[in-house]
Amino acid sequence: MTAPVSVDGKGKKNIENLVSATRSLKASLEKSRTLGFSLQKAGPRLEEIRQRLPTLEAAVRPIRADKEALVAVGGHINRAVGPAAAVLKVFDAVHGLEKSLLSDPRNDLHGYLSVLKRMEEALRFLGDNCGLAIQWLEDIVEYLEDNTVADEKYLASLKNSLKNLRDLQSDEGRTRLDGGLLNAALDKLENEFRRLLTEHSVPLPMSSSASPGEQACIAPSPLPVTIIPKLQAILGRLIANKRLESCISIYVEVRSSNVRASLQALDLDYLEISVSEFNDVLSIEGYIAKWGKHLEFAVKHLFEAEFKLCNDVFERIGLDVWMGCFAKIATQAGILAFLQFGKTVTESKNDPIKLLKLLDIFASLNKLRLDFNRLFGGAACLEIQNLTRDLIKRVIDGAAEIFWELLVQVELQRQNSPPLDGGVPRSVSFIIDYSNKLLSDDYRPILTQALVIHRSWKKEKFQEGLLVSEVTNLVKAIEHNLETWIKAYEDSTLSNFFAMNNHWHLYKHLKGTKVGELMGDKLKEHEQYKDYYAAVFLRESWTKLPSHLSREGLIMFSGGRATARDLVKKRLKTFNEAFEDMYKKQSNWVMTDKELREKTCQLIVQTIVPVYRSYMQNYGPLVEQDPSSSKYVKYTVQNLEKMLLSLFQPKPLRYSSLKVRQTSGKFSNGAADHRRSNSMVM
């Protein structure tokens, strides 16, 4: 066992110091641990403070700014806040109209238009005042920046916001001020405009079988009177928002479609006929008559109504607008198709019948001249005017060309051989009838007018006496042709038959006509020639037959009964042969005039039948008792008469006309030929 160590006073003191140091160290460690915990907790707060320092710095920056700058900034802010607050207030009001503007306008059109107008005024205020508010805000930003009153990042954010507001001031940007509400409302108005037009645009109830003149009378306005003010009210708002073209497009689409639907009932497919689809004008002659009636109906009723309606609906906008609108309707509804059909007729082959049809076309256009000038005389209808002028020029040039060529064509017919059937040549009957038509009340005035216009284009004068003279020359040329053809026959009987036939035709078809009046006593000569040639014809043909039934040697049966029978047989045989030969030859001859045919046949019957009846009554029994009687008694009196009365029957005729020689000259389309004022359609 170790003995205890004694500690002196110095050692004891050292131990106490060591214990004290140990305690002090433990206390320091505890404080360090506590401080570490505190620092660990303070870290996030320090980071938060670090992040807030820029904001705090910006917040306290005005404190460091110049005192005068801080005092002045308040005034700038006050001046900007007033306009900006007003703009925001109006902007809120705009969106308050959204429910009303998204409703259906038809429920209360007047109220809808009133709300829309308020919307437009609000947007106009925004457009006018946003700029002022932005200008004041920009002044504030500039002041803050110049006087270092605000933080740079804050100023950059303000500048970016102001730039966006400034962009909204552009035309494109303004549309976003209302979030598209205005455009949506305008679209609804356009739809209502279309609905009102569509629901009240009703095609006319017409029948294709009825003549246009027989159609029911058309009301002065094709739309109800109450609808027009509504359309005008809608137009006012749409035009104020630059949507006039949309309105016109809708109007033209609906109304032109309505006119087309009305015309479709008239069966106008013939308007699409091309030149290649017909050989001559006769194949569409019936269509030309329809064309004139249909064109008059379309112009005087359908287009006239549309003209007035355009004026009623668009009158507040201006003449150019509604005239342009009408021009589009007329064009799209089919007026050009009518003009094109007339042009197609002018492009067909030249033919005398074509002259009459060209005059029909000219008469229809001339009848509508005042209507055309009034309806289509504006600048907007330039295409219609040009096509109409071109058609009139083609019609007049074509008519004049054919007319002045007629005499040459008639004279050329002289080179042809006369008809084998002795009838009236088709060229003769055609020209006589044709000449009468040219000088009739229906065609003479319009032909004269056409020739006057044609000469005026050439700076020449036309006297009406030229027309009469030219038509008279046509008849003289026909007479000359007949004289030539009469001499051309080798068979004198057929020559006389032909002469009788044609002189009677001229007399009968010219008597009581304008042409006949011009011929005077010359016309009477044709009747006299007819009588002369009729007598010669009978004398040289049928009058010779009774001589074969002579009674010579049969009076007293001087040679006995058998001798008399043989003589009767011989004479009947000779008669039969002569009759059959003549009948066979003349059965192919033609006499188209019923009166002349019946009269001529009666004369032949009177020449032959009484003699034949008497002969058969007296001497027929001699032959009839003979076994071979049928060889000699071939015809009963009734059969003979029936055969003679059946002579000269006309054969079915097909159309024939002169073909006018095509000239090498071409029509001039020069403006100088028109001699028209630009303001005139015709």
What is the rounded distance in angstroms from the CA atom of residue 418 to the CA atom of residue 414?
9
What CATH number matches the domain at 223-383, 1.20.1280.170, 3.40.50.1100, 3.40.50.620, 3.40.50.1110? Answer: 1.20.1280.170
User: What is the reported pLDDT for 109?
Assistant: 86
Helix (H, G, I), strand (E, B) or coil at 2: coil
Domain range list for the chain: 19-64, 67-168, 223-383, 416-542, 551-649
* Res. 177: pLDDT tops 60: no
User: What is the reported pLDDT for 164?
Assistant: 60
Amino acid of residue 297: F
| Residues 241, 120 contacting (CB under 8 angstroms) | yes
Q: What is the pLDDT of residues 355-395, one digit of tens each?
A: 999 999 999 999 999 999 999 999 999 999 999 999 999 99
Q: How far is CA 355 from CA 337, 346, 421, 430, 668, in A?
A: 22, 10, 30, 13, 19
In degrees rounded to 5, what are phi and psi of residue 388?
Answer: -65, -45
Environment class of 342 (CB within 10 Å of its CB; exposed 0-12, middle 13-18, buried 19+) = buried
What is the rounded distance in angstroms from the CA atom of residue 447 to the CA atom of residue 439?
9
Q: How far is CA 587 from CA 214, 464, 582, in A?
A: 49, 46, 8
What is the rounded distance in angstroms from the CA atom of residue 241 to the CA atom of residue 350?
57
Least confident of 377-391, 542-556, 648-662: 648-662
Average pLDDT over residues 95-111: 70
CA 348 to chain centre: 20
Task: Name the residue with tokens 């279309």.
Answer: 194
Q: Which CATH superfamily is domain 551-649 in?
A: Exocyst complex component Exo70 (1.20.1280.170)
User: What is the reported pLDDT for 665?
Assistant: 36
Band the pLDDT of 152: cuts 50, 70, 90.
low
Least confident of 30-39, 311-320, 364-373: 30-39
Band the pLDDT of 107: cuts 50, 70, 90.
confident
* Res. 590: pLDDT tops 80: yes
Per the structure block, which two tokens stand in for 531?
């009588």
Q: Do the two domains 223-383 and 551-649 of this chain adopt the same fold?
A: yes
| Residues 422, 493 contacting (CB under 8 angstroms) | no
Q: What is the pLDDT of residues 46-83, one digit of tens each?
A: 566 566 656 655 554 554 455 555 555 556 565 555 55
Average pLDDT over residues 518-531: 92
Q: What is the pLDDT of residues 259-303, one digit of tens each?
A: 999 898 888 999 988 877 766 666 778 889 999 999 999 999 999
Q: What is the pLDDT of residues 346-355, one digit of tens each?
A: 998 888 889 9
DSSP assignments along 594-606, one per residue: HHHHHHHHHHHHH
Q: Which residues contact 448 (CB under 8 A, 6 or more apart)?
A: 462, 464, 467
